[in-house]
């Protein structure tokens, strides 16, 4: 019996389909299958460039990963928080926001509350800090026109002191 060159042996086809079904059933998170994330460590938690999922249940880990994959970072990169953590490990904004989400979940907060807290933190981080008032330079020289005003001392003095007063 001759086999066609396009025919696949069953031994190769079935295991491949099994993995494909598992991956398709779990979904995708930022281009990384959740199966690969869960399988990377025994507890199912995978550090994501500075994030520690240890102490979270598998359901909480999945919730954190889902939220981080849906909400965009506001550092200007245009990526989701999960993508920003993966592709830009130096982004301090996505790191602090993601750590806050994980702490909320570790603290027993439900997904809705954790998501709302993350949205509030994003809004707070997006608001630029108030600009401080300008600092006066003590060495700045001001030009004041004193033409016609009464004076004491030589006309060409290097320093002129001007007194503003109101006598009533």
Residues sharing a CB contact under 8 Å with residue 157, sequence separation 6 or more, in sequence order: none
What is the per-residue pLDDT for 3? 53
Q: Is residue 60 assigned to a domain?
A: yes
Q: Is residue 76 assigned to a domain?
A: yes
Q: Is residue 95 assigned to a domain?
A: yes
What is the per-residue pLDDT for 5? 53
What is the per-residue pLDDT for 153? 87
Q: What is the CB neighbour count within 10 angstroms for residue 40?
A: 13
Q: Is residue 106 assigned to a domain?
A: yes
Q: Is residue 143 assigned to a domain?
A: no
Q: What is the CB neighbour count within 10 angstroms for residue 77?
A: 16
Gap between the terminal Cα atoms of the chain: 122
Q: Is residue 93 assigned to a domain?
A: yes
| pTM above threshold 0.85 | no
What is the per-residue pLDDT for 92? 87
Q: Is residue 12 assigned to a domain?
A: no
Three-class SS of 5-20: CCCCCHHHHHHHHHHH
Q: What is the extent of the structural domain holding 28? A: 22-113
The total number of structural domains in the chain stands at: 1
Q: Is residue 9 assigned to a domain?
A: no
Per-residue pLDDT of the chain (168 residues; tens, 9 = 90+): 555 555 544 444 444 444 333 333 444 444 443 333 433 333 443 457 888 888 899 999 999 999 999 999 888 888 999 998 989 888 888 899 999 999 999 999 999 999 999 999 998 888 776 788 888 888 988 888 888 888 888 888 888 888 878 877
What is the per-residue pLDDT for 46? 43
């Amino acid at each position: 019996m001759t086999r066609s060159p396009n025919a696949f042996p069953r031994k190769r086809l079935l295991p491949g389909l099994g993995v494909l079904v598992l991956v398709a059933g779990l979904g995708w998170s930022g281009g990384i299958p959740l199966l690969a994330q869960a399988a990377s460590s025994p507890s199912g938690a995978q550090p994501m460039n500075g994030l520690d999922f240890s102490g979270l249940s598998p359901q909480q880990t999945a919730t954190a990963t889902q939220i981080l994959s849906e909400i965009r970072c506001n550092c200007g990169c245009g990526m989701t928080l999960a993508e920003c953590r993966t592709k830009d490990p130096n982004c301090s904004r996505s790191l602090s926001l993601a750590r806050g989400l994980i702490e909320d979940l570790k603290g027993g907060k439900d997904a809705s509350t954790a998501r709302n807290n993350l949205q509030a933190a994003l809004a707070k981080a997006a608001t630029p800090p108030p600009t401080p008032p300008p600092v006066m330079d003590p060495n700045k020289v001001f030009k004041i026109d004193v033409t016609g005003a009464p004076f004491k001392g030589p006309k060409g003095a290097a320093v002129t002191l001007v007194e503003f007063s109101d006598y009533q």
